[in-house]
Structure 1
Amino acid sequence: MCSVSGKMNVPAQKYIYTPLDQLKEGMVANLFGVVAFFKPPYRSKGTDFCSIVTIVDQSNMKLKCTFFNGNPDALPKIFKVGDIVRFHRIKIQNFNSDFQGISSSGFSALVFDGAVGAPIVPRTYSKCYSFTTEDQKNLESLRDWQTGQENLSGSRLKLSDIQPGQYFNLICHLVGKAEVDKASYLLKVWDGTKCASLTWKVCVEDDALEGDRASINRLQSITIDILVYDNHVVVAKSLKVGSCIAIQNIHAKLHNSLSENQAQAAFLEFHLHGGTGYGRSITVLPEDDYDVQELKKALDTAELKENQPLDCLSSLELTTSSDNQLSQKLPPFDALEICQQLSVTVLPAHLQWQITPLTTVINSKAPQKFRIRARLKSFKPQHLYQSVKFHCTKCNSLLDVPDEEELNNIFQEGFNDSPNSNTENTFWYQSATWKTINQGNRAVAIHFVKKHDFLQSPEDSLIMLEGGTFKEICKLSRHFDSIILVRSKKGHLEIDLSTPFLIQGNRWHYGCSKCSNLKPLEMLNSLSQEVDWNATEIAKALGIEPLMHLFVMHFTLEDGTGSLNAYLWKHSKQFFQIHASEILMDSELQKRLHNIMNTLCPPAKQISEYPWMDCCIRSYHSNDGRKDQICYEIFDTILSERNSD
């Protein structure tokens, strides 16, 4: 008896193995075979997991086997086509005029790497098994036989062997990963060889990309980007960067980019489509797997050439690659004149990107990132104060900001809950109450929050205010460091998130009513030892999810080759160098924003007289509930200082 992998062995029993061409309906057989096709365990329509494998042997007969088990680990541990299996006590039945193997009582499976010279280390769920010298002979015989079988090895390729239109299997190293959207996920992989064709680089936000940035940068000229979809997204999210994986049935899709005055460029996209058809799957390979060891040798000896820029390449950059000598016709506008004119914007990064005509951007797949030079033909909203919105980073909601009239109405509704003159002091705040003159004896209360058990000077104080009007609150905000608006409810002070939860000068901080989990105001006492009243710490102490103030604007850009609509929102603070949270309460900032927009889109002038803007934009898919569409967003773009003053 041969000892294998240090597992517990049982006394050797003589097994007879049946060639696949001698199987008969109803028999329970012992089989050796090479995996010609498989589906890793997946959830069946019932409660069990299902695994499908087709095996072949020297008789050139095939047998499809279907196994079910409530525990996916108990199913055969097959990693790739070419693995060799040993099945004991498999039942043969007739299904659709073909034989099919299913598990019977006492069924067991051993799986071995099919490569010649690979260690004889079985993968098995069983703690006890036998493996004899005769079994080893059967295994090595199948390894030798399958070496020359094109149908067993032809679908497994190196990146250097891939041709457009192929479906192939790949064993590779995971360098990086990122979520693209809810239905797709990006995997950056390599196998030590380089794809001969130009490849599509999927663009994602920098902070969404997982993996060592230095490694991604160093390897990017030799990695490929694979987009995986639907059921494979869950598996992709669970993968650890640095692991070795086997991916089955990747589609190398040829994409042609053709735009006006530009030659056609072809590059490869890589997709793992949804479902389990044709064995589509992602499998993590163990460190001791023979193919993993061979892959690591290839990675260690890979020759890395000069890297291309880290950030994603647009289709124009791909078409002007030195590997693809294409015609260099200018677009239908004077590109030299554009380059000589100063831009009213500057780019803090991505200066190595080539300027891409808008017509190319419009005709390119999403998601991608581009550098463009264009004029601002028009913008919305025309009333700039309407451009300020709330954004919750947790639930991704965009909300309108209440104006002065709305806030006044809310405050007046709260007057019914205004404090009485018997407000009591506590250990962490001290209260004062007064009644307004000629306003029906309306009561207003200020609760001075103590710090280090003492009251502070007004410019350093945090106060909680009840019963104030909009004008009273604005006046008090000029004297006190921080104001929290509260109401009395059943003897307790509470926050109402329909109004600001904190006011600090011209910055009025709001919270998301959907995502916040309000805590008692007494939690402010935990901040009594802090140096100053920090808005982030106050929100955290009170269980409030802060809303961000953003400019949300709709720009129509034009460059002579075409026009497109782009949003400016997440990166609006960077663009304008103005805090959107302050502009509603500061007339000087409002005037400054108005002057900026008049500079970018001057009234009473022809568009040919408008200034040029260098911008970075990204394309992405958006679903408004009716249909999928491609949208564009401006990012990493800043107004030059002479235009923002």
Structure 2
Amino acid sequence: MQCVVVAERNILKKTLDKRPRLFTFPHSLNIEVAFEEPQRLPESDQLRYLPSKTIATRDLHSAASTRQTLIQDHAPPRKMTVSVTDESCPTRDKALQINVFYPTIAQMPKIKNVGDIIRFHKVKIQQYQDKTQGVGMSRATRHLVLRERDDGKLEQLAYSDSWTFEPSDEERTRKLIKWSKTSLAEDTTLPDGCLHAPKLLAELQFAEGFIDLVVRVFHLDDSEEPVRLIVWDGSGNAADSDMSLVQALKDRNIAVPASGLLKEVIMASCWSLVRDMGFVDGMLTHWCRFRNLAIATDEPIPGTVVTPGRREVLRFREVTSFALMPELAFDVQLRLSLMASTSKSRSSSDNDQLRMRSLGNTSTEGPLGSSNNIFSPVVAITVIPAHIQKNIPVTSLREILSSPQTPRKFHCCARVRSIWPTDIAKICKPKSGSFIYSFALNVEEGNDSMNIIVYGKDAVSAYLHQMSGILLTAFVCLCSYRNTFFTVSHHVISEKAPALKHCWKNALQLCYKRQTPSTGASNPTRFHCHLGVLLVQPPRYDTACSTHCFNVLSWKMLYLCMERKRCNYVQTLIKSRKGF
């Protein structure tokens, strides 16, 4: 009986070596195998066969070297995920995700800017993990990317040799462009899979793992690998910037910003992909959004001033994405608003007002140009009891940090530049039927700053179990460690979270007392002090607007007793706000 054994040469060879009597093969045996490779059609049970191919084998017993020929090689297709919106799903959290597959980068849609218009032809809509998504296949799906140029004409980008673009297509494109300008400026939601809004560079010390950023790229060095970017978003102190980055800008005659922290983004293996997608031309002229940047440390730039110690940098990994942001986007406007507010000098002795920015007011001129629809200041009066204003003058942070005198009461006005954790819901934790608050603030005044750890509990408010965030007040106790680290314990009044996120970006007027530690204290450099109560009126919400609009009506500073007692006035306020 004849039989045919089909297997790879090395398998047959190993079989014969282990069991030489299993098969009887004459020497100088040549075998030719002709076959047609089957392929399953996409989304179908039918098969199609490739043209017939013939493989010739050589003597299995021969020890001579052989040459193997690769018949067919299939590289995995490239994948791009595009999140699209229109009038039917106007916000980013409801955007439809379309996964596009193509063999090469050149065939991918040349989407560079958030707000670009794309037309898909033959996209399959399906359900995946209880979510609706689109799938574009390389054999069937066609695309056309459109964007408006500075001269008002439409730029059309497609991989196909030819495509149609009717007057109705242009009309629809113009309509979408007009709609997107309003949508991008008002949309405060987060895309699917993003738990946190893009962070500021000043908040990197509290970040872990991977973060999102919206920044300007001041310098791009691709002369050698890895490629390095110097980025800036207007937050933080310029004095905290790595001097090697400052020197790198000066060496290339690039203006160093007077305010704001400089950081570095390292791009290694992914740089070729960013370059091939056409992002390089717009990097230095647009705001850039980095998603899933990894926090790391790196060596200084070769040939520049070396700064001792470790320095934080950001690494562009395989999971990182990049896009150019229009100036009208909400995240960009927040940073322009921050730059506009920090560019105005304030006197700590005269500034007894807090400023809050809300949507929909007049334009503000920022360092990078004029912008519309950004936050404009709303004045909120701070009222401090007369005996405190008379007996405790406003003191700068520099004088407080350097003052050796204790005990002493201080009255200061400082700006809160960051909070940790950034997820507001995490600052409150239930414990034994009550709530424990714990978070960290970083406050600044000019070039001086100090860290504040806030902790305490509150079991009075009836709606704390709904905690999406709090805005705190009440009597506190403050400590400092080596004049640089402050700790606060307090009793709080809870407010809605949106006001918290915006009010803490402005100045806080504080009143506290610093004392020497008690006798026998284990740490002779630790000081105890007290902070007065900060009372905030509830924010107003505009129900007719798709986003929350809020105004701080007034801020009041109350000076309560220094003992750990519940204040009847505070309890009355909490009970009266149950319906808010």
TM-score (norm 1): 0.29
Query: Considering only CA atoms, is the larger Rg found in Structure 1 or Structure 2?
Result: 1
Task: Give me the TM-score of the superposition, normalised by structure 2.
Answer: 0.32
Greater RCO, CA 8 A, separation 6+: 1
